[in-house]
C-alpha cells in the first residue's frame, strides 16, 4: 500500500461537475496528511478534455478511462477496482452525489474497504477521523476508522474548489470492460416536468415546507405570496405529496434559486434543500424548532408557529 489518495471526478452531459474540483481540494488535504500523492480518475466521456481541465494545483496524476460516453456504475465499478489494484492507494475519495450514491458503496464493498459517507470534514492521524451529521443535521459526529485503506465520500459544497492550474501527468488507463455484459444500461436523460413559473428568476420567494401539514393549509401561504407579490416555492415533501408541481421544488434535485429574499416557512433546512437556496441574498426562516438547521444559514429568524406568524404577516400588508 502507498500513502497516495485516489479521488474520482464527476461529469454529466459533457461538463465536469463542480464537485470534481472540490474532491481535488479534499484529496490534496488527505494526501498531505498521509504524506502521499493525489491521483485523480476521470471515467467516460471526453476524458482528454476533462483531464486538461482537471489539471489543477495539487493533482499529481490524472488517470483517464476512455470507455463509455456517460456515467454507468458497472463501468465506474470495474474501472475503480482495477485502478485501485494497480495504485494500491491508502484512500479512495468520491463525491457523495447522486452518482456517488450509485457506485461508491459497491466499490467499497468489492474492495473490502471500510466506508464512511457524506463527510463534511476529515483528518488523518494514523487513521481517518471523519466528521458527519446525524439526525437530520441536528448533531455532528466524528467517526474513527481504524483501518487503512478506506473509502470516503464527501459532501458537495464543503471544500473550496481548486482553481489554480497544475502540472499533473495525464495517463490513460486501460482495463477490460465488456459493456454488453453490464446489467444496467443508461438510455438517456429526461428533464423533470416544466411549468409556467420559473422560480429561479424570482426576486422574492415565499417557500413552504412540511410544517404546513395539510394541503388545504397551502391557501394560507398562497395568500401571503399574493399579497406580498412573492413567488411560491417549496421543499421536497410538498412536491412529493403532489401539492405543488415539481418546478416549484427548491434544492439539490429541484431548482437552484438566488432571490433577494428567501422566506423559508416550516422548512427544517436539510442539506439537500439548502443546496438549492443558500445563494439567496437574505434568508429569513420561520420555524417552531429553535434548533432547526435552517437557522444556521438564516439572516433573520422567527422562532414561532407559522399558523400564528403567517396570518399576522398577511395582516401587516392588508
190-229 binders of ligand FAD (CB under 6 A): 209-211
Number of neighbours of residue 169 by Cβ within 10 angstroms: 12
CA distance 78 to 44: 12
CB distance 236 to 250 below 8 Å = no
- Based on the shown chain and the rule CB under 8 A, indicate whether residue 282 belongs to the binding site for other proteins: yes
Among residues 114, 237, 245, 301, the one that binds ligand FAD under rule CB under 6 A:
237
Number of neighbours of residue 85 by Cβ within 10 angstroms: 10
- Tell me the per-residue interface mask from 156 to 195 with ligand FAD, x by CB under 6 A, - otherwise: ----------------------------------------
> Which of other proteins, ligand FAD, none does 218 bind, CB closer than 5 to 8 A by kind?
none
Among residues 57, 220, 243, 255, the one that binds other proteins under rule CB under 8 A:
255
Among residues 254, 280, 283, 313, the one that binds ligand FAD under rule CB under 6 A:
254
Among residues 116, 268, 283, 313, the one that binds ligand FAD under rule CB under 6 A:
268
Cα separations in angstroms, 111 against 23, 71, 102, 294: 20, 20, 16, 38
> Which of ligand FAD, other proteins, none does 6 bind, CB closer than 5 to 8 A by kind?
none
Check the CA dihedral 213-216-217-218 and report its sign: positive
CB distance 100 to 153 below 8 Å = yes
User: For ligand FAD, which is the closer residue by CB, 99 or 162?
Assistant: 99
- Based on the shown chain and the rule CB under 8 A, indicate whether residue 94 belongs to the binding site for other proteins: no
Count of residues in the chain: 318
CA distance 4 to 257: 38
Among residues 102, 123, 222, 223, the one that binds other proteins under rule CB under 8 A:
102
Among residues 204, 217, 222, 243, the one that binds other proteins under rule CB under 8 A:
204
Peptide bond into 158 cis (omega under 30): no
> Which of other proteins, ligand FAD, none does 210 bind, CB closer than 5 to 8 A by kind?
ligand FAD
- Based on the shown chain and the rule CB under 8 A, indicate whether residue 316 belongs to the binding site for other proteins: yes
- Based on the shown chain and the rule CB under 8 A, indicate whether residue 188 belongs to the binding site for other proteins: yes
> Which of other proteins, ligand FAD, none does 104 bind, CB closer than 5 to 8 A by kind?
other proteins
User: For ligand FAD, which is the closer residue by CB, 175 or 307?
Assistant: 307
CA distance 310 to 312: 5
Rg (CA), the chain: 22
Q: Which DSSP state fits 44?
A: S
User: For other proteins, which is the closer residue by CB, 101 or 220?
Assistant: 101
Residue 186's Cβ-side half-sphere holds a number of Cα atoms within 13 Å equal to: 17
Nearest approach, Cβ of residue 241 and other proteins (Å): 8
Q: Is 108 helix (H, G, I), strand (E, B) or coil?
A: helix
Q: Which residues pair with 249 in a beta bridge?
A: 234
Residues in 58-87 that interact with ligand FAD by CB under 6 A: none
- Based on the shown chain and the rule CB under 8 A, indicate whether residue 220 belongs to the binding site for other proteins: no
> Which of ligand FAD, other proteins, none does 53 bind, CB closer than 5 to 8 A by kind?
none
Amino acid at each position: 500500500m502507498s500513502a497516495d489518495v485516489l479521488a474520482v471526478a464527476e461529469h454529466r452531459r459533457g461538463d465536469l461537475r463542480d464537485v470534481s474540483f472540490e474532491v481535488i481540494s479534499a484529496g490534496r488535504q488527505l494526501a498531505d496528511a498521509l504524506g502521499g500523492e493525489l491521483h485523480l480518475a476521470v471515467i467516460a466521456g471526453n476524458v482528454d478534455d476533462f483531464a486538461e481541465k482537471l489539471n489543477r494545483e495539487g493533482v499529481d496524476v490524472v488517470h483517464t478511462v476512455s470507455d463509455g460516453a456517460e456515467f454507468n456504475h458497472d463501468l465506474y465499478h470495474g474501472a475503480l477496482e482495477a485502478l485501485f489494484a494497480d495504485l494500491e492507494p491508502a484512500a479512495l475519495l468520491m463525491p457523495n452525489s447522486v452518482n456517488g450514491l450509485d457506485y461508491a458503496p459497491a466499490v467499497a464493498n468489492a474492495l473490502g474497504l471500510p466506508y464512511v459517507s457524506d463527510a463534511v470534514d476529515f483528518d488523518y492521524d494514523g487513521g481517518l477521523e471523519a466528521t458527519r451529521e446525524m439526525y437530520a443535521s441536528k448533531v455532528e459526529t466524528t467517526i474513527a476508522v481504524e483501518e487503512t485503506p478506506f473509502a470516503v465520500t464527501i459532501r458537495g459544497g464543503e471544500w473550496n474548489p481548486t482553481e489554480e492550474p497544475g502540472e499533473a501527468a495525464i495517463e490513460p488507463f486501460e482495463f477490460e470492460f465488456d459493456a454488453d455484459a453490464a446489467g444496467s444500461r443508461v438510455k438517456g436523460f429526461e428533464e423533470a416536468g416544466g411549468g409556467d413559473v420559473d422560480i429561479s428568476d424570482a426576486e422574492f420567494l415565499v417557500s413552504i415546507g412540511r410544517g404546513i401539514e395539510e394541503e388545504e393549509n397551502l391557501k394560507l401561504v398562497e395568500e401571503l405570496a399574493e399579497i406580498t407579490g412573492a413567488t411560491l416555492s417549496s421543499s421536497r415533501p410538498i412536491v412529493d405529496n403532489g401539492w405543488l408541481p415539481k418546478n416549484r421544488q427548491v434544492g439539490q434535485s429541484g431548482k437552484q434559486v438566488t432571490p433577494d429574499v428567501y422566506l423559508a416557512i416550516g422548512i427544517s433546512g436539510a442539506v439537500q434543500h439548502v443546496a438549492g437556496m443558500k445563494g439567496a441574498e437574505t434568508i429569513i426562516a420561520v420555524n417552531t424548532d429553535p434548533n432547526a438547521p435552517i437557522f444556521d444559514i438564516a439572516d433573520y429568524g422567527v422562532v414561532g408557529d407559522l399558523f400564528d406568524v403567517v396570518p399576522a404577516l398577511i395582516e401587516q400588508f392588508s
